[in-house]
Amino acid sequence: MRDEATREFATFLSDIAASWPPVIPSSGQRIYLDPGTPVSCPGLQATNVFALSGTAQRGTFGADYLDLNPANPVPLEGVPFGGQGFNGGAGTAFDFLGSGLNPTTMPDSFMTVEIRFDHAQTQMAYRFLRLETQVGGAPPQGRGYLYAGFFTVPFTCWDVVHNVQLDVGFVERTITDDSGTILPAAFQLATFDSTWAPDASSNGGREYLFVYRRPYGGAPKPEIAYDGAPIQGAVPALYFLAAKRVDPSSVIHDGDGFRFPWEIPFGPDIDSQMIRLAGQPLTDPAVVQAYQDIVACLSDINRNVGIGSVCQSTPTLASLVSARAEPDRVVLIWEVSFGDGAPVTIERREGTGEWTALARRAPEANGRIELEDATVSPGLSYTYRLRVSAGGTDLLLGETTVQVPSIAVLALAGFQPNPAVGDLRVAFSLASREPARVELFDLAGRRTVAIELPSPAPGAHVARIENGARLASGIYVIRLTQGRRAIMRKAALIR
């Protein structure tokens, strides 16, 4: 049964891979296994072909506090900073402030780690100072994250797979004057105490904790102990914890802990389930049933039984080149390849409302149509499309949805749509007019695309990746960088 499931899975992946480039019969219609094709397989969670074909991803999804005595209330909760576990308060350091260890391209560098709280069993930790002025803003030199010595923390940190104690570091908020000079102790916060001790404020006092992939030795290592290390993206940081106390009286009891599991979560994709089942005995009826469910599901798809239409034509008459949204305007550019230059109607709707004609535009000599819509409202969503008359029939082309920001923030949505099938477009938002960069990496860590934005407008953008057709199918990592901040997101491309 295991071999049969493996054969069906291999056939399924071959069908996915063989769909691009697609078969193009004389009718001109492209034929391929549509990733959006709905499926319903007993015992499996996936609802479409794309979900079934996903690649298993390891992560810290189950990161959580370990409460030794259930009679004691859990004292910490996660601060949602985008981590995979603990309500967004725990995850890989690479996806937080940056690290030299990329969980996508270097998964074998990660392992399950535990923090073990005990005031009698302690270790030393790297201390870094996050600078802020008395009104909370960044001083002229930036946040700094200055190295400030090696101090005792009330716990030890362990690689539980290899039973190796690991180095850790922590961050403390540090108040400066307007010029960036650190103020005396009397002006500092209560958390400025040279140890890791988050408070009960909404961000826990920003007492970030880092776990490093270096054996603990009781002395600082130069590769970690330097100014700016937490944000330089070079240190061997495994995980981060951003926590807050549930209330000011919450106590972290000796014997409690925090666990960063490095695991493959149970997901809808076949890949993760095949990996989970591989090490389990076929004498277990539940394992046999799981394999039977996989075979039943994939054999039908591989033979096109009961899954609806798998063919889809891909219109190329119009494609979106770019979209930009600011709080007071939206700017869109389409590229068209039809007609004799006659005007087309641009339609818009707000949210899920009715479509209305917004403007008439004729393509420019280069085949592009540009629209600047200054009648938008901050915080609302708008969808735009082109209405083209051809042979007495109206064609609706180039539909795209734009979220108008209330304020400009740095954010990365990823491919639009995701998974990307035709033209490659990346949706993101910029916080300022600072230079920015959008990069695309394959899972081997190779940069395949770099888009430089030297003087961008703040707000939402959709950028088309030129020459995106040369990229192969697969999972990619998109990185958006502006100033000192960088955001990363995975995205899928199906050719």
Helix, strand or coil, per DSSP, at residue 343: coil
Indicate which CATH number applies to the domain containing 464. 2.60.40.3080
Cβ density class 383-415: b for 16+ within 10 Å, e for less:
bbbbbbeeeeeebebbebebbbbeebebbbbbb
* 372, 324 contact by CB (below 8 A): no
CB atoms within 10 A of CB 161: 11
Q: Is the dihedral of CA 478, 480, 481, 486 positive or negative?
A: negative
Question: Are both 80 and 225 inside the same structural domain?
Answer: yes
Question: Are both 417 and 401 inside the same structural domain?
Answer: no
Question: Are both 125 and 73 inside the same structural domain?
Answer: yes
- Binned at pLDDT 50, 70 and 90, residue 26 comes out as very low
pTM here is 0.53
Q: Tell which wins on pLDDT, 409 or 387.
A: 387
Establish if 310 belongs to a structural domain.
Answer: no
Question: Are both 375 and 427 inside the same structural domain?
Answer: no
**How does pLDDT run across 136-154, given as a tens digit for each residue?**
888 999 999 999 999 999 9
Question: Are both 256 and 294 inside the same structural domain?
Answer: no
pLDDT, position 17:
63
State the DSSP code for 432.
S
Domain range for residue 448? 408-495
pLDDT, position 90:
93
Question: Are both 239 and 273 inside the same structural domain?
Answer: no
pLDDT, position 313:
41
Question: Are both 223 and 95 inside the same structural domain?
Answer: yes
Establish if 104 belongs to a structural domain.
Answer: yes
Question: Are both 135 and 237 inside the same structural domain?
Answer: yes
- Out of 159-168, 235-244, 478-487, pick the least confident: 478-487
Helix, strand, coil shares, percent, the chain, to 5: 15, 40, 50
Question: Are both 212 and 72 inside the same structural domain?
Answer: yes
Q: Any idea how long the chain is?
A: 495
Number of domains present in the structure of the chain: 4
Indicate which CATH number applies to the domain containing 322. 2.60.40.10
Q: Tell which wins on pLDDT, 406 or 380.
A: 380
pLDDT of 375 over the 80 cut: yes
Question: Are both 203 and 78 inside the same structural domain?
Answer: yes
Q: Tell which wins on pLDDT, 53 or 453.
A: 453
**How does pLDDT run across 437-478, given as a tens digit for each residue?**
999 988 777 888 889 998 888 888 888 887 777 888 778 889
Question: Are both 376 and 451 inside the same structural domain?
Answer: no
Question: Are both 454 and 402 inside the same structural domain?
Answer: no
Establish if 308 belongs to a structural domain.
Answer: no
Establish if 309 belongs to a structural domain.
Answer: no
pLDDT, position 310:
43
pLDDT, position 221:
95
Biggest distance spanned by C-alpha atoms of the chain: 83
- Binned at pLDDT 50, 70 and 90, residue 155 comes out as very high
